[in-house]
A and B are shown apart, each in its own frame.
Chain A
Amino acid sequence: MTHFLIARLLRGVITVLVAVTATFLILRVMPGDPTTMMLDNRVPEEIRQQLLKDFGLDKDLFTQYLIFLKQLFLGFDLGTSFVQRVPVMDVILSRLPWTLVLMSVSMLITALIGIPLGVIAAYRKGSFLDQAINALSILGIALFIPWLGIILLYFLGLKIPWFPIGGAVTVGLEGWDYIWDATKHLVLPVVSLTIVHLASYVLYMRASTIDVLNEEYIRTARAKGLKERVVLWRHAVRNSLLSTVTMMGLQLGAIVGGAILTETVFAYPGLGRLIYEAVKEHDYPILQGTFLILAVTVVVVNILTDIVYSYLDPKITNS
């Protein structure tokens, strides 16, 4: 088990390094530079050059990269935002909690709905129920988040005013009022993320449960006279969950992509929107910081997935 963990961690560190380097390079290859948005076009060229120098962008790529790595690994410093003039860590920490709440709640709800639906569809394979579940969840994949978001806001925010229109919390609330208000703001973004991501859970779970149900040991379990409920939810689901758990880990990247659109349409102050804004402003330190956090998160989640996996199926650790 220890050997397995060390190998996984090492691979994780390399992945993060590659991701960080790629981000660093892509940003600098992107056309334009941060002065475009920061300076008025009446600014004389010398002022622009001075600003590039202040940001260290006048040095060659390799020197910039060495400085960046040194700052990151020796000082644990993500730098200062070009535009906002605030340490990147502060900016990220002010946005991260919102994204974490949004992501974890929507992933949890999606799993809680998607997994049972997938199992039921698999068990009733070919039935009307199965087809209905399939059709509805595929419809979800097909929806474009900004469109879905506006529809939800229009009907459940404006026409039937149950939920607020955008934002994370109403200004000036405290205590329980704050929590209740923040929860109300969370509902529609979570609903739209859930609708869009539900299908992959349902379809994965359905496919792997169908496979598992054809396995010999299920027949054995049935032959032993176990109740159908026990066969399905104890024996079959435990095994079919394996591939779904892997999928959940791998999907994290896609979910972040969805978060950019969701946070924009719902005016939600998370990391997705921070990325969107920073790309427009060419705020390299912010982008380097957020992508580092994302890379670390994806790697950590995948390691955790592997650990859960090895718990669900002890054979994994040995291979």
Chain B
Amino acid sequence: MRFRGVLVGLAVLTWAGTAAAQKFQTFFPYPLKVATLPNGLRVVRVPFESPGLVSYYTVVRVGSRNEVEADHTGFAHYFEHVMFKGTKAWPEGTRDALLGRLGFSENAFTTDDVTVYFVNGPSTSLDKLVELEADRFRNLEYSEATFQTEAKAVLGEYHKNAANPGLKMEEELAATAFKVHPYRHTTLGFYDDIKKMPGYFEYSREFFRRWYTPDNTLVFVVGDFDDAKLMAWVEKGYGSWQGKAAKLVIPAEPAQKEARQVHVDWATPTLPRHLHAWHTPSAGMSLTDGAVQSVLSAYLAGPTSPLYKQLVLEQQLCESVSTGYGEHRDPSLFSLTATLKEERHRAAVQAAFDAAVRDAVSGKLDAKRVQDIKDNLRYSLLMGLETADHVAMQLAYFGGVLGGPGSVDALYQAIAQVKPAQVSAFAKRHLTDSNRTVLTLTPKPAAEKAGQP
């Protein structure tokens, strides 16, 4: 493997239209080649030492954020499943069969903001892979019966997740903290809406037209390949793809002005949970805000934080303490979560959470810890880029959420610039009581014992 430690020369390729020149990369160690086709499709290539293997990611900038219509929650994720159902040229099953025969493995996932399709396999058949991928994004075609059958598989996915209280917590938190923005539902969607999905065949066609367009999509290719040949295949496969992404208004969430609370009783054995969440700005709108939250997240509840050491190691009131923060396109939530060993520790945990936030707000941040966190983030990035698949995943996910092919590098540059005073000012501005939602979960037997509803 070749490793470029700090500075990597820019690599620019003009391709059939506009060419995006990458700024100098300072943190992401592999050079990107970026081309934008006339139809708006951005194609990012990264030569990488993975003899004979290639990783191929396609990111569509659509997720549960785009589910603005009533009763259609979870549809972006459902549609991710539908994308595997074939085209006229490659009807259902034949695409899977060919990819399988060629030695490719594939999968996909959906988040609040993006849907990511990925394939890993032999470079020798990259031409065929490009043809198949371009074909399904241009010419997806499926029957109503197939569409309805897949709805049952999605219901099965909900079922496999439902045994864990994490899904219920996520549902309740989102529905309490958000009133109008689509982040008020999870990516899986509401259970009742999932059960209605078989009736949305016509809507699925509209969904495809709205969001599966070249200007709303990025392709990332990482590994061992001939770049000129690849781009010729890309132009042939995707060049005739037409369409513009819909301009739907995503309702903005009004500022929260009062403390909110939600409680979950859980009927089967589990440990109590305690969660504080605040609305915060998004990395998609400001990389600096995203970078500050990456640092704040580790500062408040990372493994070297006083909160973690107090609650998990010293007092042992909690099995775990963690923060919930992820890069988003729109303002989302920043949270602190504890898994309590016993219900009776709840007041002490809440007090510890409040003290940790007061400490961050006070302006007296430990500068060494802030530096350690930045070092941790930088080394974590480097250690997480071992395979073509790892590299493509990082580029695709951050590129999709943050909007630019080089977003990973830009984000890490922003992290390197974070100062303790910024972290403190951010906490003071956003981690306020009136902006907070508290979620509590109690296993039912304990709730009865404690006299809770």
Q: Answer whether A and B are interacting partners.
A: no
Interface positions of B (Cβ within 8 A of A): none
Interface positions of A (Cβ within 8 A of B): none
